[in-house]
Amino acid sequence: MSLDPARLGPMANAIRALSMDAVQQANSGHPGMPMGMADVATVLYSKYLKFDPADPAWPDRDRFVLSAGHGSMLIYSLLHLTGYARPTMEDIRNFRQLGSPCAGHPENFELAGVECTTGPLGQGLAMAVGMAMAERHLNAQFGDDLVDHRTWVIAGDGCLMEGINHEAVGLAGHLKLGRMIVLWDDNRITIDGDTDLSTSEDVPARYRAAGWHTEACDGHDPADIARAIDAALADGRPSLVACRTIIGKGAPNKQGSHNVHGAPLGAEEIAATRAALGWTAAPFEIPADILADWRSLGARGAEAHAAWEARAAGNAQAPELLRRMAGQLPDGDEAGKVFADWLTQSQKVATRKASEMALEVLTPAIPEMVGGSADLTGSNNTKTKAAGPFSPENYGGRYVYWGIREFGMAAAMNGMALHGGVIPYGGTFLVFSDYCRNAIRLSALQRARVVYVLTHDSIGLGEDGPTHQPVEHVMSLRMIPNLNVFRPADIIETAECWNLALQESARPSVLALTRQNLPQLRTVEGGANLSAKGAYRLKAAEAARKVVLLATGSEVELAVNVATALEAQGIGADVVSMPSWELFEAQGAAYRAELLPADALKVSIEAGVTLGWQKYVGDGLTIGLDRFGASAPAEVLFEHFGFSVEKIVPQIVDRLN
Ligand SMILES: Cc1ncc(C[n+]2csc(CCOP(=O)(O)OP(=O)(O)O)c2C)c(N)n1
Ligand SMILES: [Mg+2]
């Protein structure tokens, strides 16, 4: 460390001052955590973290995740002090105000240097596991010269208490992610009060049981913090460093109490803190010598960065790494040729099987795809020949056995996507999307290209019964903004939807896929990817059009049969297949009106809740399932719950008369 250790105290106090003043100004926020972890963060940034404020996206930088996202002023202070272009002091003055990148909780798309969006406790640490996995994966493929960095996390009691922590820690220990270091803000305080109120767990023992190395230190003693981090670096296992801290450290009357967790200190206590810290600068002013120390530390990162650039310049693999890190798909369209050939065939397969067939074509062509499943590989059909197991012995493997850890998988996939260089996809049953729903939401919020392969998408899964039969899931996933929900109807649409999912560089996708076989409905070349418009006319009315049938997934076949029966009675019916609401919404009004004309009776058919379909059918008919399913073979269930030509046609005829 080139910095005089005596300078670290004032540097940490700069974080304390900025944090308490910004929270006071906003009259909202969390001063306790940044003030408590200021010393640890100062040691981390001054001695260990590899970063370059002049180029925050440099591929081989260390990743730093503030999992305790409520302490957002900690990272805003660090980014400003070390010399990132943003946040400016003006941004910090406007903490939590409209238009400031200093959002209430850190947002990855607001500020370079914020690696992921945090605040939902536990998920930051779990995303860091994915980042550490991506690092080892790319290291295995590109070597130490190009990929050689660490993943650091600051996490609080809450992050360690959440259930997802068990999944994340189990994965990291099993995968031996030794380049991951978690600095635990062990302040023994949460919102309600002392942690004694709600826990008596021996957290380090749990981590050790999962294969981690653990250390403890005095989180206010820079030398002791450095000693513990050095020990963590020396150990080959992932490390947890319990940093014993005092929440709100520096506020003489309030520190150590849950009252400093999430409320401004107040003018009086701020004055007392200034006096106690010997901090005489006005709010939002950093004394020149202290700022100079921080900036010199920030400038130091240029050296490691330049050394990496020099190595990359002479490395034949560097362009490929940069392509992947930029999120650009490889050139060429070998896959497209195979998919075009499928149009000349007539393959009756489940869409989960069609997805596997598409993946067998896509994964060799797109080497950055890394697949996996939460212990349902054979059911989700996610494994391909190109993807060998990802393991501590072979981090270059492209298939992750996530175990029964849906939430951990989804969060880690977010981390992998945000790390860059990897396009993760992972499977589970659609009904268990609820187990990972908040991570799916964070994929969408963070604009992360993650593909969720969610199979067994309706009562069509049959005998496993209502616990396993999604009813509300497809519709409820459609409610999440910036998430593409695809429900393809056959092998052709499945391939189209996979292509669309991969092309969405800033949006996650869900593929809702069937267990049961579905006939191929598209055989003639219809021009470009028809699913790209979200909905398209699969079959035009022959008789004068009176009805438009709108269906998704397995119910498109039924809609075609219903149309045939209506035509036999002289009633013209269009069939519109609608694999994606989101993409349909993005079409122009003219296209939407052409597909859903005002003068026809519109009927939706989907084996799930009907709430929502009124948007497209107006006062037309909604055929769906507004109750839980039952245990029986699929054909019996579809018949029983009214998904048959015999039960649907009379309802339509009735309505027309
Ligand atoms: C999943 C989730 N549940 C609840 C919250 C609300 N919340 C924010 S901070 C916090 C307490 C966290 O305690 P700790 O991590 O110890 O933070 P400290 O009080 O020490 O800063 C809670 C419950 C949240 N942000 N995320
Ligand atoms: Mg705490």
152: which residues sit within 8 A by CB, 6+ positions away?
A: 44, 48, 49, 62, 63, 64, 65, 128, 180, 181, 183
Cα(101) to centroid of ligand 1, in Å? 22
Quickly state the pLDDT bin for 526 (edges 50, 70, 90).
low
In the prediction, which pLDDT does 532 show?
A: 97
Instruction: Tell me the average pLDDT across 498-520.
Output: 97
Quickly state the pLDDT bin for 3 (edges 50, 70, 90).
low
Instruction: Answer whether residue 25 shows pLDDT above 60.
Output: yes
Provide the percentage of residues in the chain whose pLDDT is more than 90: 97
Do strands 180-186 and 151-156 pair parallel, antiparallel, or not at all (unpaired)? parallel
Instruction: Tell me the average pLDDT across 454-482.
Output: 98
DSSP conformation letters of 95-156: TTSTT-S--SS--TTT-TT--S---STTHHHHHHHHHHHHHHHHHHHH-TTT----EEEEEE
Looking at per-residue pLDDT, the higher value among 511 and 340 belongs to 511
CA angle at 188 for the pair 184 and 189, rounded to the nearest 5°: 110
Q: Is 317 left (phi over 0), alpha (psi -120 to 50) or beta?
A: alpha
pLDDT digits (tens, 9 = 90+) for 247-278: 999 999 999 999 999 999 999 999 999 999 99
Could you tell me if the CB of 34 is within 6 A of ligand 1?
Answer: no
Amino acid at 114: V
Instruction: Tell me the average pLDDT across 430-439.
Output: 98
Instruction: Tell me the average pLDDT across 632-640.
Output: 98
**Active-site annotation holder among 115, 269, 356, 406:** 406
Quickly state the pLDDT bin for 1 (edges 50, 70, 90).
very low
Residue 125 to residue 4: CA distance in whole angstroms: 31
Sheet holding 369-373, edge to edge: 399-401, 369-373, 423-429, 451-455, 509-513, 484-486
Residue 297 to residue 478: CA distance in whole angstroms: 46
Cα(191) to centroid of ligand 1, in Å? 7
User: Taking ligand 2, which is a single-atom ion, which protein residues have CB atoms under 5 Å away?
Assistant: 156-157, 187, 189
How many CB atoms neighbour CB 639 within 10 A?
14
Beta bridge partners of 601: 547
Could you tell me if the CB of 191 is within 6 A of ligand 1?
Answer: yes
Amino acid at 573: A
Ligand 1, atom 23: nearest CA belongs to which residue?
191
Could you tell me if the CB of 531 is within 6 A of ligand 1?
Answer: no
Residue 187 Cα: closest atom of ligand 1: 20
How far is C-alpha 280 from the chain's CA centre?
Answer: 43
pLDDT digits (tens, 9 = 90+) for 358-398: 999 999 999 999 999 999 999 999 999 999 999 999 999 99
First to last CA, the chain: 84
590: which residues sit within 8 A by CB, 6+ positions away?
A: none
Closest CA to 598 of 642, 545, 553, 555: 545
Cα(411) to centroid of ligand 2, in Å? 22
Residue 119 Cα: closest atom of ligand 1: 25
Contact 462, 515 (CB under 8 A): yes
Provide the percentage of residues in the chain whose pLDDT is more than 70: 99
Ligand 1, atom 12: nearest CA belongs to which residue?
158
Cα(193) to centroid of ligand 1, in Å? 11
Buried/exposed 112-150: b ≥16 CB within 10 Å, e otherwise: bbbbbbbbbbbbbbbbbbbbbbbbbbbbebbeebbbbbb
For residue 463, indicate whether it is catalytic. Answer: no
Could you tell me if the CB of 190 is within 6 A of ligand 1?
Answer: yes
pLDDT digits (tens, 9 = 90+) for 293-339: 999 999 999 999 999 999 999 999 999 999 999 999 999 888 888 99
pLDDT digits (tens, 9 = 90+) for 530-543: 999 999 999 999 99
pLDDT digits (tens, 9 = 90+) for 128-164: 999 999 999 999 999 999 999 999 999 999 999 999 9
Could you tell me if the CB of 256 is within 6 A of ligand 1?
Answer: no
Instruction: Answer whether residue 525 shows pLDDT above 80.
Output: no
Could you tell me if the CB of 155 is within 6 A of ligand 1?
Answer: no
Could you tell me if the CB of 35 is within 6 A of ligand 1?
Answer: no
Contact 632, 463 (CB under 8 A): yes
Cα(582) to centroid of ligand 1, in Å? 33
Q: What's the chain's average pLDDT?
A: 97
Ligand 1, atom 22: nearest CA belongs to which residue?
191
Instruction: Answer whether residue 2 shows pLDDT above 90.
Output: no
- Ligand 1: which of 33, 65, 70, 162 to mutate, most ligand atoms within 8 Å of CB? 70
Could you tell me if the CB of 428 is within 6 A of ligand 1?
Answer: no
Could you tell me if the CB of 157 is within 6 A of ligand 1?
Answer: yes
Residue 429 to residue 442: CA distance in whole angstroms: 19
Contact 531, 580 (CB under 8 A): yes
Instruction: Answer whether residue 523 shows pLDDT above 90.
Output: no
DSSP conformation letters of 276-345: HHT--SPTT---HHHHHHHHHHHHHHHHHHHHHHHHHHT-TTHHHHHHHHTTPPPS--HHHHHHHHHTTS
Residue 20 to residue 29: CA distance in whole angstroms: 9
Q: Where is average pLDDT lowest: 240-254, 303-317, 515-529, 642-656?
A: 515-529
In the prediction, which pLDDT does 527 show?
A: 67
Q: What is the dihedral of CA 441, 446, 452, 458, to 10 degrees?
A: 30
How many CB atoms neighbour CB 533 within 10 A?
19
Residue 123 Cα: closest atom of ligand 1: 1
Closest CA to 129 of 79, 174, 188: 174
Cα(158) to centroid of ligand 1, in Å? 5
Ligand 1, atom 18: nearest CA belongs to which residue?
190
Cα(27) to centroid of ligand 2, in Å? 21
Alpha-carbon distance values, 150 to 51, 112, 178, 283, 309 (Å): 11, 18, 9, 34, 18
Could you tell me if the CB of 249 is within 6 A of ligand 1?
Answer: no
Residue 235 to residue 250: CA distance in whole angstroms: 33
In the prediction, which pLDDT does 5 show?
A: 78
How many CB atoms neighbour CB 632 within 10 A?
15
In the prediction, which pLDDT does 4 show?
A: 77
In the prediction, which pLDDT does 434 show?
A: 98
Instruction: Answer whether residue 654 shows pLDDT above 90.
Output: yes
